[in-house]
Amino acid sequence: MAEAIGWAATVVFSASYFFQRSSVLRRIQAVAACLWIAYGLATRAWPVVVANFLVAAAAVFSLSRDERPQSPRGGHRNQPAVPDVIIRAAPADVVAAETGQPDCELELAKFGLT
């Protein structure tokens, strides 16, 4: 029975690397670590139990950190917010030559403010 648990843990842990989303990878690695803990308990391999307890704890902690509520503007509370408007930097004469409009009128028109 212990050998089957060990093989299952190996398959689950190896499969985790085929997922691109880090949250899915961490969830699967946490499951694999729990299987390794079961294997370690069944075989009385205490280093396996302790090491995989730490791996499972780290995976769960990192998942909880990534799933914190986001601020209304889309970033985490400790990340700078992304501006709603991106300001284009170009010399006014270049913009006027390309469009026939002064730079400020062009920017206002983009947002329906003229």
When divided into structural domains, the chain yields a total of: 2
On whether residue 74 sits in a domain, the answer given is no
Q: Which residue has the higher pLDDT, 3 or 66?
A: 3
> In the 8-state DSSP scheme, what is residue 113?
-
Tell me, yes or no, whether 13 and 53 share the same domain.
yes
| Rounded-to-integer distance, Cα 90 and Cα 104, Å | 11
Does the pTM surpass 0.85? The reply is no
The candidate with the shortest Cα–Cα distance to 26, out of 63, 69, 68, 64, is 63
Tell me, yes or no, whether 13 and 48 share the same domain.
yes
Q: pLDDT tens for residues 70-105?
A: 555 555 555 555 555 545 555 555 555 566 655 555
Q: pLDDT tens for residues 47-59?
A: 999 999 999 999 9
Query: Which domain range does residue 97 map to?
Result: 85-114
